[in-house]
Amino acid sequence: MVIKNLGRVPYLPTAQAMQAFTEARQSETPDELWVCEHPPVFTQGLAGKADHVLFNPEGPDHIPVVQTNRGGQVTYHGPGQVVAYPLVDLKRQDIYVKEYVYRVEQAVLKTLDTLGVTGHRVTGAPGIYVKLDDPFGHSVLAKPEPGRDPFLGLGKIAALGIKVSRHCTYHGVALNVAMDLSPYGRINPCGYMGLKTIDLATLGVSASWDEVAAELSRRLASHLGA
């Protein structure tokens, strides 16, 4: 897997470049991993609903809303967030989308573990979450009682949204390192009203963007490599 650190790049041209790469790639094209951060932007997935954007996108707002062809709903990208775009040929890897998502999430979990943070999956809600009252503990999540908010006591630290075209993936995963989290309050993150978001800095983890980007890149290359 060829790893490319793009630095801080605008969202839309990067998404367009991923799509062009995927459409042009051949069976022998090496997989790539693009790692970057974006200036502030809200992105809306294919399943996104307008009422999950809690402000007027046509108004004089300084953060744009960009429609995308990835799965999922609305999320936020901004400085201090490691965004990783694995461009992987699933057919060559002989894995299905469900397995691919599991491997991406596992790479995030292992990255967090390296930093002393315990991440969790929530059934039916792609991404990685942490216990807000005990982010460094190792207890498993209790099965939520019927009618109980499955996100109670949790904060989302990594969001996942992918696109698969001709058995090849693009878009990817975003891990919050040290951000201004306030823009999340202007959306229902990933379509969930009141879902809390968190970053490593708020948890008290002192790690630079470069350090987290390098570790996540290494983990993704390991979990998605041939």
What pLDDT, in 10s, does the model give residues 187-211? 777 666 778 999 999 999 999 999 9
Which phi and psi (to 5°) does residue 118 adopt? -95, 115
Instruction: State residue 190's pLDDT score.
Output: 67
Q: Annotated catalytic residue: which of 181, 190, 198, 203?
A: 190
188 by DSSP, 3-state: which? coil
Direct distance between the N- and C-terminal alpha carbons of the chain, in angstroms, rounded to an integer: 9
Strands 81-87 vs 32-37: parallel, antiparallel or unpaired: antiparallel
Cα distance between residue 14 and residue 68, in whole Å: 12
Which phi and psi (to 5°) does residue 134 adopt? -160, 65
The CATH T-level fold of domain 2-224 is: BirA Bifunctional Protein; domain 2 (3.30.930)
What pLDDT, in 10s, does the model give residues 137-153? 998 888 777 777 888 89
Highest mean pLDDT: which of 4-18, 37-51, 56-70, 121-135? 4-18
Of 18-27, 130-139, 164-173, 183-192, the least confident: 183-192
Q: Can 36 be counted among the known catalytic residues?
A: no
> 60 falls in which pLDDT band (50, 70, 90)?
low
Instruction: State residue 202's pLDDT score.
Output: 97
Instruction: Write the DSSP symbol of residue 196.
Output: -
**Looking at the predicted structure, is the pLDDT value of residue 54 above 70?**
no
> 20 falls in which pLDDT band (50, 70, 90)?
very high
Angstrom distances, CA of residue 129 to CA of 5, 80, 113, 159, 160: 25, 18, 13, 9, 11
Mean pLDDT, residues 71-81:
91
> 123 falls in which pLDDT band (50, 70, 90)?
confident
Which residue from 53, 158, 36, 172 is spatially nearest to 101, judged by alpha carbons? 172
pTM: 0.93
Residues 6 or more apart whose Cβ sits within 8 Å of residue 112: 118, 119, 128, 130, 157
Instruction: State residue 23's pLDDT score.
Output: 96
For 46-85, give one letter per residue: b (16+ CB within 10 A) or e: eebeeebbeeeeeeeeebebeebebbbbbbbbbebbbbbb
**Looking at the predicted structure, is the pLDDT value of residue 72 above 70?**
yes
